[in-house]
Amino acid sequence: MKDAVDTPETRSASLKGMGCARKRVEDVRFTQGKGNYVDDIQLDGMLFGDFVRSPYAHARVVSINAEAALALPGVVAVLTAADLAPLGLHWMPTLAGDKQMVLADGKVLFQGQEVAYVIAEDRYIAADAVELVEVEYEELPVVVDPFKALEPDAPVLREDIAGNMEGAHGPRKHNNHIFTWEQGDKDATEAVLAEADVVAEEMIYYHRTHPCPLETCGCVASMDKVTGKLTLWGTFQAPHAVRTVAALISGIAEHNIRVISPDIGGGFGNKVGVYPGYVCSIVGSIVTGKPVKWIEDRMENLMSTAFARDYWMQGKIAATKEGKITGLWCHTTADHGGFDACADPTKFPAGFMNICTGSYDIPVAYLAVDGVYTNKAPGGVAYRCSFRVTEAAYFIERMIEVLAIKLNMDAAELRRINFIRADQFPYQSALGWEYDSGDYHTAWDKALKAVDYEGLRAEQAQRVEEFKAGKTRKLMGIGLTHFTEIVGAGPVKNCDILGLGMFDSCEIRIHPTGSAIARLGTISQGQGHATTFAQIIASEIGIPADDITLEEGDTDTAPYGLGTYGSRSTPVAGAATAMAARKIRAKAQMIAAYLLEVHDDDVEFDIDRFVVKGAPERFKTMKEIAFAAYNQAIPGLEPGLEAVSYYDPPNMTYPFGAYICVADVDVDTGEVGIRSFYALDDCGTRINPMIIEGQVHGGLTEALAIALGQEIAYDDMGNVKTGTLMDFFLPTAWETPNYTTDHTVTPSPHHPIGAKGVGESPNVGGVPAFSNAVHDAFRPFGLTQSHMPHDHWRVWQTANKLGLHG
């Protein structure tokens, strides 16, 4: 009888491979306070940098006097654009093909812009010295409204490119215009709109917000003048890309630059781009010959690092009287701030906004996006979404709600009759994407049944009657969302940043004793890579996940990759991991066949070993094979057991979800209470259910914050009104509701393990669900649209405009 400890079930369980709710291995050090963040790095003789920042949103810099600052004991240097100009470093390229001032060159374009860089022996001395730098400004007219920025008499913001009507993405039609990007068939769409039974129109604004990661941005630059090698530690979501950009900017040979991303306290897109603090720290280290550290404070992070969203989306949706959608039209005005520094693939200057047809079979569509300069901070990051997908999802899910009102139709049924059917996949969208797989109807029906949708609608109707009768002052809203995301950037044929193809990589090395190390071109900021990627390898080659170590974030050891953002870790790096593991497994099969004295084709892989076909009692475990790879001369094979994979995906992946939020809205206080939130996600093959659930909880909480109050707001003078955590909403345990999570599984047909990615889905789907719940509460009283965020004051104002306070 087979030993009970050697059954397929026990062997599989011991691997802790894909599908296992394995605990995060990273948490051991994090929960004990043993993480290693940028500000933990201490080097001999290290100096500290701090910025003089502009109090004005638009002003000419008349003069800079640093004499008093330089006289302060402990101050080593004060850098200005004049110091950087001879080195060609006063401007730097952005990820969007624009250029951006490192330090203010002649004028400033947003409040908080970097004007001078103080280097001192102590960070407190540096802060004191910042106050001693005298800057004379000449105020200029401020433009914070992107529509006003395009008016004929608007002030010219970017004087450096004034009159140059050819931009990085085509013709410019105004000095404050950046690009026009179009997708789809404009003429056909407008013809459908002209002939449609019903056309619903709405202007939808997705406000400017900010990722506000737990750890702000920072770096430590150390130039060794003896070896000529620059080492740069920093909060980098794409360390290899940063190294390439650093080489381009500094002129230092790329092999002489080492970029290290240690533990990162949250990224969410905020740490993809290159900031002036990085460049100034590098220059500071070169000039002083000592390491220079720069760590921004919270106000600097909120005011000047990359923002998210700020899209004005004018929509038109056409349908038959029965509710079948026949066309979609969208024009977006995108506020990019003072410089176009968005982290989008080169061919997609407005990100993947052309996923705005969502989960629906829309035969014809047209999208146009105009990028505009204003006196706001630049950056446009994909805050927990893949390149503007959240804006696209919010747009279509709000347009569906507006159409439902126009048709006097239930919004759940409207969605159902317009879903892409399962038999239509792979599905070619009207705006150019090929959706890989999906079963939207099954997911939708499961979600509606889980929340008792019919019962909720009956309760909502009863609540309206009670409100009208004066028995309650709270309305009830049901927020529906069915979203389709596009992640896994990406195929080199579609996606690059600054000419770098967006592939990713993995190197796996099996040691003689059967343990393994995997190195990847990604970098975790809380996603649990060390846990989940080990599980992929465990399932692919039969080595327990506990015996596999993962390394990321060091360009001297990791293979070249494009980093972690846009939910690309599992779809791209996870695929590279699986493909590298399969190369190892193929070699292991040949070794096993030699050891078992049979032909390669006569052995097959079985969980953690290779067995002889028809004689399973004859086998070699992966541990035995690993040892043999290093101590036996096997004809036709090199010693060792390792492999590298650079994976260029053939297509994006398309996770989707069905979310339903139930909210109670107090019309007298404007308070929105989330009673329940149901989230069904389909991310294809599920590697670790526990980590997926954690990702969903975190993403939904960020979506809650965005929908109900998280905003970077400006006054007419360009002053940031929400630049501290007293004003910028971060939900605590008090505001955060309980979430019910669920799933279906529709594997991606082209991904090696069928995984699609999930990290950003809850933000993509959560924001419209929360927002739709607020809108739906007011729907019986005539509301079609109000702009996010739905904070207490705005909700109170909405109730007041509808006459509900009387």
- 53, 384, 519, 568: which one is catalytic? 384
Pairing of strands 218-224, 229-234: antiparallel
Q: How far apart are CA 709 and CA 731, in angstroms?
A: 9
384 is catalytic: yes
Q: Residue 86 and residue 689: Cα distance in Å, rounded?
A: 54
Can you state the angle between helices 575-596 and 529-541, rounded to 10 degrees?
30
Q: Which residues contact 767 (CB under 8 A, 6 or more apart)?
A: 390, 393, 394, 703, 706, 707, 788
Helix 239-250 vs helix 276-288: crossing angle, to nearest 10 = 60
Contact 547, 516 (CB under 8 A): yes
**Phi (first) and psi of residue 474, to 5 degrees:** -115, 135
- Which residue in the list 391, 485, 711, 760 is annotated as catalytic? 760
In the set 111, 113, 237, 527, the catalytic residue is 237
Distances (CA, A) of 53 to 117, 277, 554, 623: 9, 12, 32, 59
CA atoms of 69 and 193, how far apart (whole Å): 63
Closest CA to 359 of 433, 428, 418: 418
- Is 280 a residue of the active site? no
Q: Residue 621: which H helix or E strand, with range?
A: strand 615-621
Q: How far apart are CA 418 and CA 320, in angstroms?
A: 11
Closest CA to 117 of 48, 51, 46: 51
Catalytic option among 20, 342, 385, 495: 385
> Please, what's the largest Cα pairwise distance for the chain?
90
Three-state SS letters, 246-297: HHHHHCCCHHHEEEECCCCCCCCCCCCCCCHHHHHHHHHHHHHCCCEEEECC
Compute the distance between CA of residue 249 and CA of residue 255 in angstroms, rounded to an integer.
Answer: 14
Cα–Cα distances in angstroms (integers) from residue 482 to residues 411, 675, 800, in the given order? 11, 19, 30
* Cis ω for the linkage preceding 789 (within 30 of 0): yes
**397 in active site:** no
Give the distance, in angstroms, between the CA of residue 641 and the centroid of all CA atoms in the same chain.
35
**How many Cβ atoms sit within 10 Å of the Cβ of residue 94?**
23
**Cis ω before 141 (30° cut-off from 0):** no
- The dihedral of CA 185, 187, 191, 193: what is its sign? positive
Contact 105, 91 (CB under 8 A): yes
542: left (phi over 0), alpha (psi -120 to 50) or beta: left
Do 492 and 501 touch, CB atoms closer than 8 A? Answer: yes
As a residue count, the chain comes to: 806
Whole-angstrom distance, CA of residue 311 vs CA of residue 208: 8
- How many C-beta atoms lie closer than 10 Å to residue 97's C-beta? 19
- C-alpha to C-alpha distance for 316 and 314, rounded to whole angstroms: 7
Please give the full DSSP string across 537-549, using - where no structure is assigned: HHHHH---GGGEE
Q: How many CA atoms lie within 13 A of 283 on its CB side?
A: 28
- At residue 10, φ and ψ (nearest 5 deg) are -70, -35
Q: Say if residue 713 is exposed, middle or buried (CB neighbours under 10 Å; 0-12, 13-18, 19+).
A: middle
760 among known catalytic residues: yes
Helix axes 389-407, 411-418, angle to 10 degrees: 110
For 93, the token pair is 């390229």
Query: Within a 13 Å sphere around the CA of 716, how many CA atoms are in the beta-carbon half?
Result: 2
Task: Report the catalytic residues.
Answer: 237, 384-385, 760
